[in-house]
Chains A and B, each alone.
Chain A
Amino acid sequence: MKMLSTLQTPRSTLSRFSLPSTFTSHSHSPTLPQPSLTTPTSPPQSQILSIRHSLLTRNLSAVDLARSYLTRLRLTEPHLRSFLHLPDDQTILSRAHEIDRRIAAGEDPGPLAGVLVAVKDNICTADMPSTGGSRILEGYRPPFDATAVKRVKELGGIVVGKTNMDEFGMGSTTEASAFQVTANPWDVSRVPGGSSGGSAAAVSARQCVVSLGSDTGGSVRQPASFCGVVGLKPTYGRVSRFGLMAYASSLDAIGCFGSSVADTGILLHAIAGHDRFDATSSKQEVPNFLSHFDLVSSLESKPLKGLRVGLIRETIEDGVDAGVVSAIRAAASHFEELGCSVNEVSLPSFSLGLPAYYILALSESSSNLSRYDGIRYGNQVYADELDSLYGDSRSKGLGSEVKMRILMGTYALSAGYYDAYYKRAQQVRTIIKNSFKEALDQNDILISPAAPSAAYKIGEKKKDPLAMYAGDIMTVNVNLAGLPALVLPCGFIESGPAGLPVGLQLIGAAFDEGELLRVGHIFEQTLENGRFVPPIVADSVE
């Protein structure tokens, strides 16, 4: 219970969601008028710790908890379509029941006991289909759980379903899913971001407590920003990729979504660490990320005194939405209020990140997606000749965005082009790594927007892939450098029915997730109007 003692006691975090009254204490302060939020503005609290506290003090049963979430899920899902697969309620309730039984028997049900976790559909689950959002894997059920999923289950977490995504992670809006389009809970006419749009929307709309996503070039952080939730992309190698359908192996990372920094950190702690099934997973020790969390009482104490924060100049220049820039500048001011020294830093190689990323990611993906050939699993189109079997299975099973990326990646790796594209992109990657290292030698953390704009309309960029790719400018460099980054909502821009959230990205040194989480937690707890609950939840419940 050490984690609990260092944090504030659970407050009214779920009070809007008709949870059993025993769980809530109704002690939050009155709603502030600005911005156009109708939700309470007390800082976000760890749902996981609240749940654990309530379960262990028998204020709440896991079954009741699961029921309340499932109720909201059923109400919101028709509007959002976050999930590609949901087991029947009974499956989830029986898991919850098992946790209640263990608590009653005096056993420790695990740190994630009763926590409903949504899992991105490109992360393998043995008991549920895993399609990666692709037609070619429609109905495919893996014979194993991804290591991250296995660890979540072992710690008592309940997988609530598989979330929608851009096919094999290739997209920034979740519109490239072969099955459905997910809506942004803040404005259902807008995209939730991508590729982990389903996982971000599900946490945003409180369809689950936390969720797993994957981040190759920003696929956790950008949807976190669009949906107003916390998203964490860990250091490359911090979390095992075993069971994650590979998009670009040297960039892929399983990441976490939560409605508070603490939840994100708890989930990361659960899934992080070396795995003998992933040769690229790190043996770096996994600290208890929450043990350094401070009890935050006020800004007066300057809880981040001395912290050197670098605002990446290139991320607030031309082409970035004015509302986003002002939200980030406000966040920078907030850091100063917290005692940090904030300086603008320049990463001259920043703009090179986008082309380098797309060359490397697509090259690797053209190789990684070769296994989807219709021979051993997935959809096969019958043909008389082998080449036709391959061609037909792949052309029918893969979507146009995926096919375009495979073609581009194949081209970049072809004889005669390798040096001009792949090799040069690798050289750029080294330059980017070095420039980040320099910037992080002079600063403790770097900050930037998570995306150049807030969520845009569904269909808005579908016909213009270059514009969509350009939206990844804020995030891809971090993957190329292999660094950890935390995105948390820091403000709004005036748009849509209730304003659209803007995410702040904190970038740290390799394996320094603990510091990102500590800083993010203080930022979140001291931010005025720091709670980000989309109106759909309020509208659909009560």
Chain B
Amino acid sequence: MSYTSFRTFQLHSFLLKRRNGFFYSTTTKATTQSQTQTKLSASTQSKKLDKIPKDYEPVIGIETHVQLSTLTKAFCNCPYNYGSFPNTSICPVCMGLPGALPVLNSKVIEFAVKLGLALNCKLAFNSKFDRKQYFYPDLPKGYQISQFDVPIADSGYLDVDIPLEFGGGHKRFGITRVHMEEDAGKLLHTETGNYSQVDLNRAGVPLLEIVSEPDMRNGIEAAEYAAELQRLVRYLGVSNGNMQEGSLRCDVNVSVRPIGQSKFGTKVEIKNLNSFASMSRAIDFEISRQVLLHSQGQEDQIVQETRLWEEGTQRTITMRKKEGLADYRYFPEPDLPSVILCQEYVDGIQNSLPELPEEKRRRYEKMGLGMQDVLFLANDKNIAEFFDATLAKGADAKLVANWIMSDIAAFMKNEKLTINDIKLTPEELSELIASIKGGIISGKIGKEILFELLAKGGSVKEIIEKKDLVQIADPVEIEKMVDKVIAENPKQVEQFRGGKTKLQGFFAGQVMKVSKGKANPGLLNKILLEKLNSKS
């Protein structure tokens, strides 16, 4: 982790020279995190939670920045592609050249309204943009176009199901506000630290900032809130929600207060949270740190500051202390007209909203699926879509869920594929399940077919036909095979009839082998027993 600490040092030394402003640690990509959500280890987590004395209550609020996946930036026609060569996607507007003016991309409003509705917010039908002013080299105009006193949406909530391994249960977290703003560029620091360079590709990319109520009480709740927000933006198609690329960034405010005290403790902001796992760990570390200070009577050591999560050492360190409240001198953005929504527009968006994760979970629950299945299926939009498409072909929900959660999930894990990469289609999975249910093939053959479908694709019917896999359910044919096996194994027959009935399994295996696995197992065993017992 020397790389990480080096980077931290770099940013740190640079930041010491600044008075105010925002900073996101996105200058280099964290390479230690995998793309998918890291599963938290329940055991280590609960251990940490146990350390928190019962007489303190942690209070956590989260500010999330979601980068919108619009084709072009918020106020100009530049496209944004993560990882492009620096300063290749810029124009006079997003560079803040003299005389250039912002023109709002209407998709930004659409996405904001979508998320506002999905978060059960009250929409502001008459809102506006404001300028938030501070100097920083990644901010070309010297101000960020944002929304100040009239956010486009406020007073909503987000419903979350806590996974069983963390205690389970349903939680509702309040949403204070959702507002639109533009992203800043990035600073690239040289290895020697002699100078820094500015990449403005990201400048002007639209963001939604979602501010939660201080409703979370531990790292897990905070991480689950953020994960649900990620699902939501992915379900809505407003963002790819990718934390490693910085498309979803969470700044967490943590404070601790003695139980029973209504006043909040001094809050500390934590940045540099590149995954839900680190978010959870960072919060729990910070809670422990603050509780320790409280319990030692040193709560005055908790100061309002921004702390950085160090992945390497697994702790938070001071990034900068707040020198009083920054004065951003907000005032209404005179270059942009106010944002007026009309009811038809909002209704149109409301009616076009897809089924949201929470609705999906409740629906799956009603189908009789267990919470573990429900979460597995609904957590990933693509898996949910695959599941729903399979159901639409008439398959039984529980059977489909079993197939997806066992063999299909295992295959994806082994092959490091997503559900969109596998060759199996929902139609064929439904067909496969129907074929087994209808007795055309055995469950064992079904599994073989499944793996072929997963890897190579094709149709269930074709594979059955080509490989002659139709189940043998003709008693006469099975009887012939049973007779053959009995005739070829006289010793074992004698032993069986002598009381070693365990040998039934051996005979069944032999018959199955003869049938090349196609014999109907029920019928096979029935006939076999008849034959073995009849001669005694």
Contact = CB atoms under 8 A, between A and B. Distances in A.
A84 to B, nearest CB: 15
Contacts of A376: 95-97, 140, 198, 200
A132 B275 CA distance: 47
Interface string B86-102: 00000010011111111
Nearest to B329: A413
Interface string A367-408: 101111101110000000111001000000000000000000
Contacts of B330: 413
A506 B100 CA distance: 31
Contacts of B329: 366-367, 410, 413-415, 418
Contacts of B92: 142-144
Given A130-B98, A367-B133, A277 B103 contact: yes
Interface stretch (A16-24, A71-79, A238-246, A339-347): A238-246
21 contacts: A124-B98, A124-B99, A130-B98, A142-B92, A241-B99, A242-B100, A242-B101, A243-B99, A277-B101, A277-B103, A278-B101, A367-B131, A367-B143, A371-B96, A373-B142, A375-B140, A376-B198, A386-B137, A387-B19, A413-B133, A422-B331
Contacts of A276: 103
Interface in A352-372: 363-364, 366-367, 369-372
Contacts of A367: 131, 133, 142-143, 329, 331
A377 B97 contact: yes
A246 B17 CA distance: 30
A250 interface: yes
A407 to B, nearest CB: 13
A386 B143 CA distance: 17
A371 B98 contact: yes
A366 B337 CA distance: 20
A371 B140 contact: yes
A38 to B, nearest CB: 41
Contacts of A386: 14, 17-18, 137
A137 B140 CA distance: 15
Nearest to B21: A386
Given A387-B18, A410-B329, A422-B331, A370 B101 contact: no
A372 to B, nearest CB: 8
Interface in B15-41: 17-19
B101 A279 contact: yes
Interface string B183-213: 0000000000000001010000000000000
Given A279-B336, A370-B142, 10 more contacts: A142-B97, A246-B98, A246-B99, A248-B334, A278-B101, A280-B337, A367-B331, A370-B143, A375-B140, A422-B331
B494 interface: no
Interface residues of A, number: 47
Nearest to B100: A242
B403 interface: no
A364 to B, nearest CB: 6
Contacts of A370: 133, 135, 141-143
A146 B98 CA distance: 10
Contacts of A241: 99, 101
B508 interface: no
A390 B135 contact: yes
A249 interface: yes
A244 B99 contact: yes
B337 A279 contact: yes
B143 A142 contact: no
Contacts of A245: 98-99
B407 interface: no
Contacts of A369: 142
Nearest to A378: B98
A140 interface: yes
Main DSSP-derived SS at the A contact region: loop
A367 B334 CA distance: 11
Interface in B195-239: 198, 200
Nearest to B97: A142
A140 B101 CA distance: 18
Given A276-B103, A278-B101, A371 B331 contact: no
Contacts of B96: 371, 376
Contacts of B335: 246, 249, 279-280
Nearest to A369: B142
Interface of B: 14, 17-19, 92, 95-104, 131, 133, 135, 137, 140-143, 198, 200, 325, 327, 329-331, 334-337
B133 to A, nearest CB: 6
A160 B96 CA distance: 27
A414 B133 CA distance: 11
Contacts of A143: 92, 97
Interface centre among B92, B97, B101 (most CB of A within 10 A): B101
Contacts of A132: 98
Given A279-B103, A386-B17, A415 B98 contact: no
CB-CB nearest 5 A-B residue pairs? A370-B142, A249-B334, A250-B334, A413-B329, A243-B99
Contacts of B135: 370, 373, 390
Nearest to A243: B99
Contact of A146 (B19, B99, B331): B99
A414 B97 CA distance: 25
Nearest to B333: A249
Interface centre among B104, B141, B334 (most CB of A within 10 A): B334
A277 B100 CA distance: 8
A27 B99 CA distance: 46
Contacts of A364: 331, 334
A415 B103 contact: no
A137 B327 CA distance: 28
A71 B199 CA distance: 48
B31 to A, nearest CB: 28
A279 B102 contact: yes
Contacts of B142: 367, 369-371, 373
Nearest to B131: A367
A311 B99 CA distance: 36
Given A279-B104, A371-B140, A418-B331, A242 B336 contact: no
B331 A413 contact: yes
A296 to B, nearest CB: 39
A253 to B, nearest CB: 13
B105 to A, nearest CB: 11
Nearest to B14: A386
Interface in A272-322: 276-280
A375 B137 contact: yes
A523 to B, nearest CB: 34
A241 B97 CA distance: 13
Contacts of A387: 17-19
Contacts of B102: 279
A370 B102 CA distance: 16
A414 B329 CA distance: 5
